[in-house]
A and B are shown apart, each in its own frame.
Chain A
Amino acid sequence: AAGVIQSPRHLIKEKRETATLKCYPIPRHDTVYWYQQGPGQDPQFLISFYEKMQSDKGSIPDRFSAQQFSDYHSELNMSSLELGDSALYFCASSILTGTDYEQYFGPGTRLTVT
């Protein structure tokens, strides 16, 4: 079965650079979520999109922006990178089944800021 695809899987950037992470949800899934997981930390919700519109927003820095495109893929843009942005970034997608949304996570993009 198709899974959530994230690219790149690994990314190394320097401070103050920009990075773009991409997420391709499972076909027919209508919602995309982004999470950030720092070293030894639990995943933190950043932002979500439903039918290409932002649907919920968490602790996402102003330096980050995201969007969902007409083909439902999503991109997380990160500018003025800081050392503290080094983390695993997960994308998840979901579709309503019955009364519940079950989120399926991608393998993550490991961002290292040096």
Chain B
Amino acid sequence: SQQGEEDPQALSIQEGENATMNCSYKTSINNLQWYRQNSGRGLVHLILIRSNEREKHSGRLRVTLDTSKKSSSLLITASRAADTASYFCATDHRGEGAQKLVFGQGTRLTINP
């Protein structure tokens, strides 16, 4: 089963509104990262939050992490049509000498003009 599960799976809002996406995971992590993917395109790194951090901001993005609940949320404020994409959370698991990312199922976000 997937380490990360995202909720909702699809979200449709009006331009200018805020969008909140949630992610849950099962085992301990080094950090949690959020990625954006336009349809069929590459993954763009948005933000990384370490396991000892609770909140992080980057422009219109706000990420929170609750390690006690093993959950994270991504908030996009003042959404724009260009924010339409799929958003994935990915948890960092450190192996010997390197890490792998375990991705959640993603939230498909649609911003209606």
Instruction: Give residues in A with beta carbon < 8 Å to B.
Output: 31, 33, 35, 41-45, 48-51, 53, 55-56, 58, 88, 90, 92, 94, 99-108, 110
Which of chain B's residues have a CB closer than 8 A to the CB of A101?
92, 98-99
Among A35, A100, A106, A107, the residue within 8 A (CB) of B48 is A100
Report the minimum CB–CB distance from A55 to chain B (whole Å): 4
| With known contacts A105-B45, A106-B42, A107-B41, A56–B88 Cβ distance under 8 A | no
| Minimum CB–CB distance for A91 against chain B, Å | 10
| Contact between chains at B30 and A100 (CB < 8 Å) | yes
Query: CB within 8 A of A33: which of B4, B33, B40, B101?
Result: B101
CA of A56 to CA of B93, assembled, Å: 10
A99 with B98: CB separation less than 8 A: no
Within 8 A of A (CB), among B19-52: 30-31, 33, 35, 40-45, 48, 50
Chain B residues near A51: list those with CB within 8 A: 97
Q: Which of B44, B48, B102 contacts A102 (CB 8 A)?
A: B48
* Contacting residues, chain B, for A41 (C-beta < 8 A): 105
> How many angstroms between the C-alpha atoms of A17 and B85 in the bound complex?
33
Asked if A44 contacts B103 (CB within 8 A), the reply is yes
Q: Number of contacts between A and B (CB, 8 Å)?
A: 79
The reply on B95 being an interface residue by CB < 8 A is yes
Measured as residues with beta carbon below 8 angstroms from the partner, the interface class of chain B is 20 to 34
List of 8 A-B pairs having minimum Cβ-Cβ separation, nearest first: A55-B98, A56-B95, A50-B97, A42-B103, A105-B43, A50-B98, A45-B100, A107-B42
CA gap between A104 and B90 in the complex, in Å: 13
11 A–B contacts from the bound complex (CB under 8 Å): A31-B97, A35-B103, A41-B105, A43-B88, A45-B101, A49-B98, A55-B97, A58-B100, A100-B48, A102-B33, A102-B45
